[in-house]
Amino acid sequence: MLPRTNPAKPGPDDMEAKPPRRTRERILELSLKLFNEIGEPNVTTTTIAEEMEISPGNLYYHFRNKDDIINSIFSQFEQEIEKRLRFPDDHRATIDEMWSYLQYMIDFTWRYRFLYRDLNDLLARNRTLETHFKQIISHKVRFASQFCEQLVTDGEMIATPDELHVIATNIGVIATYWLSYQFVMNPRKYNEQETIRGELHQVSVQIISLMAPYLRGRSRQIFDDLVSGKLPRREFYDYLPPREGAVPRTELKDD
């Protein structure tokens, strides 16, 4: 008969499994930090190992190469963004909510900013990212299109199907490449993280402005008030009705 194990205490296998898992998570966290701060092309596996104060062999035990690390970070990004590219099914969004939603998405973009800033270089050599990021952009365009179609249905926007397609596509392009635009316009601010982060929020104005010429009624007035500063900025969650079993706001915010 096998000896009984106390379920309250970890067994030998559990004790051995925890350190590798923690090391893997630390590698991903540090890699994301380095990619974001100094640029993915400037980071090597040696850089990561040195910053981690582990041997290259230890790093390669968890990840085969740098692309393996990038793919693991991208997998986290992909899972999170798929959850964010939607409003609640029982809720009809408004322009002011969309404005705040874009701010909410900007904070998420900032967390994974290297994927956007170094996107073309990453796609040129990483087949996984090439395929999956294309799907993400398509999802962004579809989400923007659905929102605009809702406004048309509600009489808050007047646009033909062809115009809606152009607007939604432009929204997807700007949302994806705004960080690259910022870098091209201010390359000397590359290391001024807080400056770049502050300017990133300008993308909300750019995106909503694409819709402005087609807005009518209350939506047009809200847009004018938002741009002029008459309406105070609010958190995206402030607009949503409380739902049973919802996670508290403090737990939903990114670090």
Tens digit of each residue's pLDDT (9 = 90 or more) over 21-46: 589 999 999 999 999 988 899 999 99
**Is the pTM here over 0.85, yes or no?**
no
Radius of gyration of the chain (CA): 22
Same fold, 1-63 and 71-252: no
pLDDT of residue 156 exceeding 90: yes
Q: So what's the pLDDT on residue 190?
A: 61
Q: Which of 204, 208, 186 is nearest to 196 (CA)?
A: 186
Q: So what's the pLDDT on residue 200?
A: 81
pLDDT of residue 251 exceeding 50: no
d(CA 204, CA 208): 6
What residues are paired with 215 via a beta bridge?
157
Q: So what's the pLDDT on residue 244?
A: 54
Are 204 and 97 a contacting pair, CB within 8 Å? Answer: no
pLDDT of residue 248 exceeding 70: no
Burial environment of residue 231 by CB neighbours within 10 A (0 to 12, 13 to 18, 19 or more) = middle
Domain boundaries, given as residue ranges, for the chain? 1-63, 71-252
Q: So what's the pLDDT on residue 1?
A: 39
Pairs from 187-193 (Cβ < 8 Å, separation ≥ 24): 190/39, 191/37, 191/38, 193/37
69 — pLDDT class (breaks 50, 70, 90): very high
139 — pLDDT class (breaks 50, 70, 90): very high
191 — pLDDT class (breaks 50, 70, 90): low
Q: Which of 45, 17, 41, 43 is nearest to 118 (CA)?
A: 41
d(CA 20, CA 190): 34
Are 129 and 122 a contacting pair, CB within 8 Å? Answer: yes
Task: Give the mean pLDDT of 202-210.
Answer: 89
- Start-to-end C-alpha separation, the chain: 50
The residue to which tokens 């994927």 are assigned: 115
1-63: which CATH topology? Arc Repressor Mutant, subunit A (1.10.10)
Task: Give the mean pLDDT of 139-168.
Answer: 95
Q: So what's the pLDDT on residue 82?
A: 87
CATH code, residues 71-252: 1.10.357.10
pLDDT of residue 250 exceeding 50: no
Are 64 and 56 a contacting pair, CB within 8 Å? Answer: no
**Least confident range of 102-116, 208-222, 240-254:** 240-254
d(CA 69, CA 113): 16
Higher pLDDT, 231 or 55: 55
